[in-house]
Amino acid sequence: MDLKFTAEEEAFRSEVLDFLRERLPQRIAETVRNGQHLTREDMAAWHAILNERGWLANHWPKEYGGPGWSAVQKFIFENECAIAGAPRIVPFGVNMLGPVLIKYGNEAQKRHWLPRILDGSDWWCQGYSEPGAGSDLASVRTSAVRKTDASGDHYVVNGQKTWTTLGHYANMIFCLVRTASDVRKQEGISFLLIDMNTPGIEVRPIITLDGEHEVNEVFFTDVRVPVENLVGEENKGWTYAKYLLTYERTNIAGVGFSVAALARLKRAAQHVTRNGKPLAQDPQFAARVAKVEIDLENMKTTNLRVIAAVAGGGVPGAESSMLKIRGTEIRQEISSLLRRAMGPYAAPFVEEALHEGYEGEAVGPDEAASAAALYFNNRKLSIFGGSNEIQKNIISKMILGL
């Protein structure tokens, strides 16, 4: 196992850095670095820049528009992007649905939907979770009943999805729906693509702890969906759903995001003072920063170890769960330390500080205004993509054999 990058990989890193210097809009990078929210237009603009270069769908095979990168190249690209302050690629179309269509979609679906993901014609959202079906996802109850009438074959969908991230921006949603209930629950699920503009769909906002509108509830009442929008076979959706989840957890460790956040924390600890000295010189605070840095270095090595195993023909199994747990714990710890570093200045909850152009009265260090909101927002990391407790269950089954 060789964990060092080769000369070619280092050359690739330089190419990525040049690209980021030339093409990443500084205004957007600044917004990301300040932990502020991006607009729909900002996210779409970054997608378009990556797509123009052919680097948007870096998990896709070349024949569908991917760049044909190795696992190591993807790792380098994603980390350098995060460190430079590039927005994360909105994952629902590119990283989740795309791989499912490539593996399980029919030719017509691939020809129609994949180019539209790349050029941004469609904004997808993920309709998996329901009230009562989160960790226990196979319990989904939203029903799809197949009907035939004069205008053709279609499904009629009724039910509710929840926690639908950026559903208010989306024109398409991929859903797990129940098409059979007299079988084992995993065997009665289908994977359906639904146009959000179909009559009978209602999107309602959920406002999170940080005051933001990021997630939604989506209600379906007698929604008509053409049968052509079924992916793969009816009642085989659980297989496709699980395949998608392995992609959702890929790179969820977010090493680059932690590296960037740690650098911000260290900068803050230099200019924030306690008892007349920089906070970085406070032994207790410095020890916590050192611990999280060591954890991050360990995680980087584990991440590279997994990549080396994949490059050698292996498959990431429970390791992606390990990376998910450690990666999200580290990101949460860094945001917690930043909040602590701000001391009493983090106490006023300034929701507006999460938006670009905030020019509120400066109280305390620059990082103070967004510290609390960022801390709250990062609580989600250990819940979505399969909660950390569920990842521990996976590890205990797959690694410890319990």
Catalytic residues: 248
* Least Å from the CB of residue 133 to ligand FAD: 7
Among 389, 396, 397, 398, indicate the residue that binds ligand FAD (CB under 6 A): 389
* Least Å from the CB of residue 392 to ligand FAD: 7
Q: Which of residues 8-37 bind ligand FAD (CB under 6 A)?
A: none
54 lies in the binding site for ligand FAD (CB under 6 A): no
Closer of 49 and 196 to ligand FAD (Cβ): 196
Closer of 14 and 396 to ligand FAD (Cβ): 396
Which residue type does 194 have?
A: I
Among 128, 155, 220, 240, indicate the residue that binds ligand FAD (CB under 6 A): 128
* Least Å from the CB of residue 142 to ligand FAD: 11
Of the listed pieces 11-19, 77-85, 159-167, 320-328, which binds ligand FAD according to CB under 6 A? 159-167
Q: Which residues make beta-bridge pairs with 194?
A: 173
Which residue in the block uniquely carries the two structure tokens 């991006």?
38
The number of C-alpha atoms within 13 Å of 123 and in the hemisphere containing its C-beta is 19
Q: For the window 75-114, what string marks contact with ligand FAD as x by the rule CB under 6 A?
A: ----------------------------------------
165 lies in the binding site for ligand FAD (CB under 6 A): yes
328 lies in the binding site for ligand FAD (CB under 6 A): no
Name the phi and psi angles at 131, rounded to 5: -60, 120
SS3 at position 361: coil
Of the listed pieces 6-14, 97-105, 361-369, 382-390, which binds ligand FAD according to CB under 6 A? 382-390
Q: For the window 212-241, what string marks contact with ligand FAD as x by the rule CB under 6 A?
A: ---x--------------------------
* Least Å from the CB of residue 332 to ligand FAD: 13
- The span from the CA of 128 to the CA of 58, in Å, is 24
Closer of 232 and 386 to ligand FAD (Cβ): 386
Question: Which DSSP string corresponds to 180-205?
Answer: -SSS-GGGGEEEEEEETTSTTEEEEE
Among 135, 171, 281, 396, indicate the residue that binds ligand FAD (CB under 6 A): 135
- The span from the CA of 61 to the CA of 63, in Å, is 6
Which residue in the block uniquely carries the two structure tokens 């759903």?
241
Of the candidates 79, 69, 59, the residue with the CA atom closest to the CA atom of residue 303: 79
- The span from the CA of 260 to the CA of 267, in Å, is 11
Among 16, 84, 380, 395, indicate the residue that binds ligand FAD (CB under 6 A): 380
Among 180, 259, 318, 390, indicate the residue that binds ligand FAD (CB under 6 A): 390
Of the candidates 82, 70, 189, the residue with the CA atom closest to the CA atom of residue 140: 189
Neighbours of 290 (CB within 10 A): 10
Of the listed pieces 46-54, 160-168, 250-258, 291-299, which binds ligand FAD according to CB under 6 A? 160-168
Residues 156, 195: contact at Cβ < 8 Å?
no
**Residue closest to ligand FAD when measured from CB atoms:** 134
Among 46, 163, 191, 345, indicate the residue that binds ligand FAD (CB under 6 A): 163
* Least Å from the CB of residue 385 to ligand FAD: 7
Among 54, 65, 120, 134, indicate the residue that binds ligand FAD (CB under 6 A): 134
Residues 27, 33: contact at Cβ < 8 Å?
no
Give residues with Cβ within 8 angstroms of 318, minimum separation 6. Answer: 394, 395, 397, 398, 399
Closer of 66 and 254 to ligand FAD (Cβ): 254
- Give me 123's structure tokens: 């904004």
Binding-site size for ligand FAD (CB under 6 A) equals 19
70 lies in the binding site for ligand FAD (CB under 6 A): no
* Least Å from the CB of residue 388 to ligand FAD: 7
Helices assigned H by DSSP within 272-282: none
Q: Angle at CA 311, nearest 5°, toward 394 and 70?
A: 110
384 lies in the binding site for ligand FAD (CB under 6 A): yes
Give a three-class secondary structure readout of 36-83.
CECCHHHHHHHHHHHHHHCCCCCCCCHHHCCCCCCHHHHHHHHHHHHH
What residues make contact with ligand FAD under the rule CB under 6 A? 125-129, 134-135, 163-165, 215, 380, 383-384, 386-387, 389-390, 393
